[in-house]
Amino acid sequence: MADIFISYAHEDQSFVRLMVPALEAEGFSVWWDHSIPPGQSWDTFIAAGIRDAKAAIVVWSPHSASSDWVKEEATLARSGAKYLPVQIGGAAPPIGFQRIQAAQLSAWQGEPNNAQWQMLLRAAHELVGGERSEVIPAPGAARPSYYPSPASPPPAKKSSGAPVALIVVVALIALSGLGWWVVGRGPQVPIETTAATPLQTPAPVDTTAEAPILDPSQQQEIQQLRREREAAISAQRAADQRAENERQARLALEARQAADLQARQSVVGSWRVTGRWATATADWSDRWSFRSDTTVTLNSDADLGAWTQNGNRISVIYSGEHRIEYAITMTDDRFTGTMTANNGQTGTVHATRD
């Protein structure tokens, strides 16, 4: 179980990387999303991290103030009476989190004697319930960038009387005049004290509870965030499916067009054509030339008519004295079909490539 859980937006990772070793140098064990092992569910692991931690630092910035994830984590931290806000980048916490004063660390660059940083450390020590394991360095003194996390202190014993209330007193007025407020289940009242005023020992926190108790409004807020996230995921999946369907339809159309083009190109050329009318006793034979402009010539000089094509089905219309329609099916270098005249006569026709 870590002492401190850190909630932040991904864009503020450089600030968190500065803060983590500084907290560890104070003797705290720190949990942040780089601690998630492979194969773990993100939601479940983060919820467990907040539940098990003794304090939760929420870094508010222009990025995190608009993040549903950070708001949900802050809600869980606040309901568990372990919420410690930090403000960077000049952005105020979102609505619902502005009544609790945040440590102003926009200008903090890791210096240990910064007044706002010291105020955050005191509040963290109050929540964790331990004493400082390191002496605060003097100005200009070298400070290690990392200390191994100490062993976790033994769990607090339960009181033999009534259940212990979750009340955390975080007090001290910063040099800048910005104070902290009590974070707990009871009414929030300002504590006017000074940095020299000793902090009262808080009531022990029952760490055996499996999950923080949320009031109905907090539960509704979390459920709404989850519904919105699930709706966004469903909408994206539907959009992806529509795009895939459109892509498949486009590929099918291109394939048909390519096949038509290939068949159209294959019919262009010279053919030896033989036909017989049903009422005739002998075949007739001609030479047809299919041209790329969709016209057909007879014996290389006279216009026979026009041709159209749909796949391997070819139609030739002769518009001479008697209009004749030829319906042809082409296979490789041969085609066969029927011919029908406007006077009702019918016949067959077949041809080979010349």
pLDDT, tens only, 323-332: 788 888 888 7
Q: Is the pLDDT of residue 87 over 90?
A: yes
Q: Is the dihedral of CA 172, 175, 176, 177 positive or negative?
A: positive
Residue 170 shares a structural domain with residue 198: yes
- The CA distance from 61 to 285, in Å, is 88
Residue 203 shares a structural domain with residue 87: yes
Confidence tier at 8 by pLDDT (50, 70, 90): very high
Computed over its alpha carbons, how large is the radius of gyration of the chain?
A: 41
Count of domains in the chain? 3
Residue 88 shares a structural domain with residue 145: yes
Residue 72 shares a structural domain with residue 102: yes
pLDDT for residue 196: 44
Q: Is the pLDDT of residue 171 over 50?
A: no
- The CA distance from 181 to 90, in Å, is 20
Confidence tier at 183 by pLDDT (50, 70, 90): very low
Q: CATH number of the domain that 43 lies in?
A: 3.40.50.10140
Which of 128-132, 168-172, 232-236, 286-290 shows the lowest mean pLDDT across its residues? 168-172
Containing 277, the helix (H) or strand (E) segment is strand 269-277
Summarize the confidence of residues 27-55 as an average pLDDT: 75
pLDDT, tens only, 127-166: 998 544 333 333 333 333 333 333 344 444 444 443 433 3
Q: Beta partners for 7?
A: 58
Residue 146 shares a structural domain with residue 223: no
Question: What domain range is 197 assigned to?
Answer: 4-153+160-214
- The CA distance from 117 to 108, in Å, is 8
Contacts of 205 (CB under 8 A, 6+ apart): 54, 81, 127, 129, 156, 164, 166, 168
pLDDT, tens only, 270-299: 899 999 999 888 898 989 888 888 888 888
Contacts of 321 (CB under 8 A, 6+ apart): none
Residue 226 shares a structural domain with residue 313: no
pLDDT for residue 42: 59
Q: CATH number of the domain that 338 lies in?
A: 2.40.128.120
Q: State the pairing for strand pair 30-31/4-7.
A: parallel
Residue 221 shares a structural domain with residue 311: no
Q: Is the pLDDT of residue 181 over 60?
A: no
pLDDT, tens only, 298-349: 886 677 788 888 877 888 888 766 678 888 888 878 889 999 988 888 999 9
Containing 7, the helix (H) or strand (E) segment is strand 4-7
Backbone angles phi and psi of 270, in degrees to 5: -105, 135
pLDDT for residue 129: 84
- Write out the two tokens for 242: 């529509």
